[in-house]
Amino acid sequence: MTMTRFETDKAEIVSAVLKLLPEDENMNHKTAMLTWWSNIRSRGGLGLTYTGDLMFQWAELESYEFEMGASSSLGNLAAAMMLNKKMLCPHYFYTNNRKRYVRVYDSRIAMLIALCGSIDEYLKRLDNITENDDD
């Protein structure tokens, strides 16, 4: 399943995903809000925890995985915080065999990342857009 509209409200996202989960995996809304997001504040970004990512997968939401390039000099915590600040869709940052990955749950943003060539380039372009908006 694909998220059909650009949604950034965590409570609405959780409500929609909860409806897609099998009944034996379902949980209450409050618990989901507290356990699915890496930063539970309303403006805390859309980074998912391991549990949140697992629930999105169980709900069979379409996702896209990208490797973060070695060019990124940020440590894992700083990279996760930066992604949480800049990514405008639910995403999960993780490492595997010393490589860093981001799983994105939005086909439009995944397409933009692919068009930019890498997630690192996509994030640089977001920085450029933000800088140009400040002028």
Written in H, E and C, the secondary structure of the chain is: CCCCCCCCCHHHHHHHHHHHCCHHHCCCHHHHHHHHECCCCCCCCCEECHHHHHHHHHCCCCCEEEEECCCCCCCHHHHHHHHHHHCCCCEEEEEECCEEEEEECCHHHHHHHHHHCCHHHHHHHHHHHHHHHHC
The confidence score (pLDDT) of residue 71 equals 55
Spell out the per-residue pLDDT of the chain, length 135, in tens.
444 445 678 999 999 999 999 887 778 999 999 999 999 887 889 999 999 999 999 999 999 999 987 656 678 888 888 888 889 899 999 999 888 999 999 999 999 999 999 888 898 888 776 555 554
Asked if residue 51 belongs to a domain, the reply is yes
Q: Which amino acid is at 75?
A: G
Neighbour count for residue 31 (Cβ, 10 Å) = 11
Domain total of the chain: 1
Q: Name residue, tokens 């925890």.
A: 49
Asked if residue 5 belongs to a domain, the reply is no
Q: Could you tell me the CA-to-CA distances from 68 to 31, 55, 63, 102, 131 in Å, in that order?
A: 30, 23, 16, 7, 22
Domain housing 63? 10-134
The confidence score (pLDDT) of residue 52 equals 97
Asked if residue 44 belongs to a domain, the reply is yes
The confidence score (pLDDT) of residue 70 equals 63
91-96 and 99-104 strand pairing: antiparallel
Asked if residue 78 belongs to a domain, the reply is yes
Asked if residue 84 belongs to a domain, the reply is yes
Asked if residue 3 belongs to a domain, the reply is no
Asked if residue 90 belongs to a domain, the reply is yes
Asked if residue 4 belongs to a domain, the reply is no
The confidence score (pLDDT) of residue 2 equals 46
- What does pTM read for this prediction? 0.84
